[in-house]
């Protein structure tokens, strides 16, 4: 009798456990979204060298991070790196804040914040968490590689090796961007209005066009056009990424 009862109870217990896990995962996902709404403004504002808005944005980030860590510090007991990653991210946030408060080198603060962006991406990947913004971050790595070469060269110094490198990064960027365009997007999770969703779709298309323009330029011999086209892949991407941040109290970052 006991054995029969155990067999009957096992599926119920398993269903309850899975339901609880799904609920916890949903809460974590929502808090990732809330965190990014507050994280993206200081990331952008420090990059733009805006001191006063950056100070205000870093204060908001520190508060949001404290809430995130309180809610989810023990969320992934099966991941031995989870807690130490969160501790490191907190240290980086405090380090970036001190730099911003000193008003000395906001770009250094920006680079520190970038490490948090990619540390969270790695933590989510390690835990099998599929998060839309991570695909934008994956694309960002290839975009920055292209922009770096374009900013360092002119038509006379752009070598065949440089062109081959840009072509490789562009090809990989196009592959990732196609994935971004075709992925299902949970407008409700990210709290997008109809207007924001229309803007998201518009910027996705504009970035795809900029990448295609670069690809076409790479097929020709006009090295100035290659450099120009390479630099033009950033603006639409940046505007899209910033859609996921809440800049209302800091002013328009564009």
SS (H, E, C) 116-155: HHHHHHHHHHHCCCCCHHHHHHHHHHHHHHHHHHHHHCCC
The answer to whether the beta carbons of residues 180 and 135 sit under 8 Å apart is yes
Q: Give the pLDDT band (50/70/90) at residue 243.
A: very high
Q: What is the mean pLDDT of residues 41-54?
A: 96
High-pLDDT (> 90) share of the chain, %: 84
Domain boundaries, the chain: 29-126, 132-242
pLDDT at 250: 81
The answer to whether the beta carbons of residues 238 and 226 sit under 8 Å apart is no
* Those residues with Cβ within 8 angstroms of residue 63's Cβ, 6 or more apart along the chain or in another chain: 38
* Those residues with Cβ within 8 angstroms of residue 59's Cβ, 6 or more apart along the chain or in another chain: 97
Phi, psi of 172 (to 5 degrees): -70, -40
pLDDT of 6 over the 60 cut: no
Token digits for 38? 């507050």
User: Could you tell me the pTM of the whole model?
Assistant: 0.87
132-242 is a CATH 1.20.120 domain: yes
CA distance 74 to 214: 45
* CATH architecture of the domain with residue range 29-126: Up-down Bundle (1.20)
Token digits for 158? 């752009």
């Amino acid at each position: 009798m006991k054995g029969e009862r155990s067999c009957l109870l096992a599926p119920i217990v398993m269903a309850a456990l899975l339901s609880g896990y799904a609920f916890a995962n949903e809460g974590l996902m929502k808090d990732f979204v809330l965190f990014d709404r507050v994280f993206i403004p200081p990331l952008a504002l420090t990059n733009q060298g805006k001191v006063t808005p950056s100070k205000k944005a870093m204060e908001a980030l520190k508060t949001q991070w404290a809430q995130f860590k309180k809610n989810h510090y023990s969320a992934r007991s099966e991941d031995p790196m989870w807690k130490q990653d969160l501790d490191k991210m907190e240290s980086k946030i405090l380090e970036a804040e001190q730099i911003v408060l000193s008003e000395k080198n906001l770009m250094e603060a920006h680079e520190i914040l970038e490490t948090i962006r990619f540390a969270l991406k790695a933590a989510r990947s390690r835990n099998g968490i599929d998060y839309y913004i991570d695909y934008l971050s994956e694309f960002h790595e290839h975009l920055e590689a292209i922009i770096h070469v374009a900013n360092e060269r002119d038509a006379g110094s752009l070598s065949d090796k440089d062109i081959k490198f840009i072509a490789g990064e562009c090809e990989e960027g196009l592959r990732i961007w196609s994935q971004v365009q075709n992925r299902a997007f949970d407008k409700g999770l990210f709290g997008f209005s109809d207007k924001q969703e229309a803007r998201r779709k518009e910027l996705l298309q504009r970035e795809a066009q900029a990448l295609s323009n670069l690809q076409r330029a790479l097929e020709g011999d006009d090295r100035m056009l290659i450099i120009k086209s390479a630099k033009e892949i950033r603006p639409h991407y940046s505007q899209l990424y910033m859609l996921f941040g809440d800049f209302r109290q800091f002013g328009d970052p564009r």
